[in-house]
Structure 1
Amino acid sequence: MSIRVLVVDDSGFFRRRVSEIINADGRMEVVGSASNGREAVEMNASLKPDVITMDYEMPVMDGITAVRTIMAQQPVPILMFSSLTFEGARVTLDALDAGALDFLSKNFDAVAKGTAEVKKALTDKIAAVARKQSRVLSEASPAPTVSARPARSKPVGKTDVVVIGTSTGGPAALQTLFKSIPAGFQTPIVIVQHMPGSFTKAFAERLNGMSPLIVKEAEDGDVLKNGHVYVAPGGMQLMVDKRNGGSIHIHESDQRINYKPSVDIAFASAAKHFPRSTLAIVLTGMGSDGKEGARLLKSSGSTIWAQDEESCVIFGMPLAVIKEGLNDEVLALQDIGPRLSKELG
């Protein structure tokens, strides 16, 4: 059965090109298009699509208002199109707070050319969030899932650094997590969230505004301090090491590496420099970034937690770790912050 998509944008050209890309994928079809938020709300009610792609700057009703209205009236997975600017980042984060599940960069040239990379990014994300919707609808009779816990749990011992890796669904998950970590938390935290370079500073500022901890976009040479949280800058790679008692190093990414920043790279550096004293946490996200880094951490004697399927937007990254038997525990999102406070606070 095809994934039914509603395309919302005030540009007729953009709606047409996005629709062509979606309809060319055998897994999905466009069932309608809207030119403003009010039309989107009405068409969502009448067409009942599986996924909506949404612009944020539109006449009559803007995208964020439309997201809030749709999530209040008839929730459906929504992908936002965002400009890659600092202000675009703020607006996109507002949309994620309103209930959108993920975002894509709005690049007219790339969409016009219809490159294979653009097509894959769009259709893969639609397919991923549609699976989230299917799972929600089938909760009355859920299919068997991966075991919720490993055979044995590993206590968290001495911990020099907490490293969190996440992708799709991460911004909302991290906000939930950090609201539940109180002031006085005594371990440095590093976040690796798949995001464009223009987004991570705005995201760090947002986390800083809602958390009693000090949150900042990581810079090269930052010293790891208790009660501080460091967000890996988008488009770069972050590594930790033991210089200056524990520090962060930021460097340009090899073009062959898919994720910038990469959870695998951050995890691998922690495994090398903080063996037996890293707590790694794998949260919601597409793909398997973090799996190989988790393997190195496991071999070094560190502890790994994975978010459970029920509380994930996309279970891909935690599932990859769980399937390999690399996790020490599987935790619901709402339990991770209190557990961190209990173990390390």
Structure 2
Amino acid sequence: VLYFVLEGSNLVRLPLDSLPGQTADGLDYDTDILAPGVLQQIEDHLLVDVESKTTDLEGKEKIIKAKNLAAAWRKLPSLDLGDDKDEVMIANQVLAGDQLYLGQTLTEKGKKRQFNTWQNTFSEAFYDSYSDLYASSLELGQDGLYVRHNPNWMTTLGYARVLLQAYMLNPSHSLLNKLEKLSETLLPLFQSGPPISITGLGPDLNHPLFSKAEEDEIEEREEVNLISVESIDLWTLAQLAGIDEEWGRIAQQWIENISESISEEGMPFPPEGWNVEQDTAMPLIASDYQAETWRILKTSLNLAEVGINNPALEGFLLEELKSGGLASSYHLVNGSSETAAVILHWLPGQPDWQEQ
């Protein structure tokens, strides 16, 4: 009894009580999607055992074995590409993002034992001892061994998110210790940045892109170092405040940065990039007047998870879905006739979209 009392003591309480969209009971999920659907497909066809080589802090090379990692893709035997049907075609890389989705699924479905195995495997395979960060992928070399590629704060923040979700459902000192270590690694990076994650081509960042007419001559553009806005997981930043209160200030600053930079003249899209040097938003990264849909959705979901909604954007996306589906990108200013209609309804003084 004393063990269980002590085990539950001194556990921190996270600022947010729940994650929107997360159900308390794994059985509430659509079983055709997670089990035996996609999750079963992953377990049957994509899980692989890998051997990777790494160099420790003393400069010694060692081989690490990791079991049951999800490969990026694998060709099913039923798919005929004119190749040898007996030949196994599988990706030569293992993506950290795929593993994080798998870990999140195991957490949400309440598969505690499988999740514990997963987190040990993920840490063993992707943790880089030099930087204390987690790699974005494992790449297969010509010697048949995998090598960690691109340790970065985005993968590390993604791992923190999965552990935070697990902690919400089953708090423990083991998870808390791991979260404290992740917080210690990430906090200095976010206090000074965080580091750039992408480069983009754009106009003068002091002027919104949509202030120019498309036919205007565009000045010569140079590459700009940016943070990709969709990679800022606002919910995770806010939850980490339970570990260190400094995260609360950082989370609030990013919430304001992004929510206050949503277009007020063209389409109601969040910005794609953030210029740390000038501390300004960049409406587009590619500067071809096309906003990428996946970035729009990811950033909007990040905002929604901390209670910031965008009714105008929601209305536009719903109308697109009713009309046949979402495009891969949308023009920031004029786009199609449907886009023009949304701009009209979204302008100040016009009736709310949902009332149309």
TM-score for both structures, normalised by structure 1: 0.27
TM-score for both structures, normalised by structure 2: 0.26
Larger Rg: 2
